[in-house]
Amino acid sequence: MSLRVRIAGFAGVAVCGVVLDQVTKAWARTALAGGPVTVVPGYLDLALVKNTGAAFSIGSGATWVFALLAIGIVAACTVWVVREREMPMGLVCSLGAVAGGGVGNLIDRVVAGEVTDFFATTFVDFPVFNVADIFVTCGVVAVLLCWQRWDAGRGEDNL
Q: Which amino acid, residue 105?
A: N
Instruction: Verify whether residue 133 is a known catalytic residue.
Output: yes
List the one residue out of 119, 103, 39, 35 whose CA is nearest residue 66.
Answer: 103
Residue 64's H or E segment, with its range, is helix 63-83
Query: CB count, 10 Å around CB of 151?
Result: 10
* Given the residues 45, 117, 151, 157, the one annotated as active site: 117
Q: Give the rounded distance of the alpha carbon of 12 from its chain centre.
A: 14
Using an 8 Å Cβ cutoff, are 103 and 74 in contact? yes
* Given the residues 21, 45, 133, 151, the one annotated as active site: 133
Q: What are residue 34's phi and psi, to 5 degrees? A: -80, -10
CA distance 69 to 66: 5
User: How many Cα atoms are found within 13 Å in the side-chain-facing hemisphere of 130?
Assistant: 33
| Catalytic residue list | 117, 133
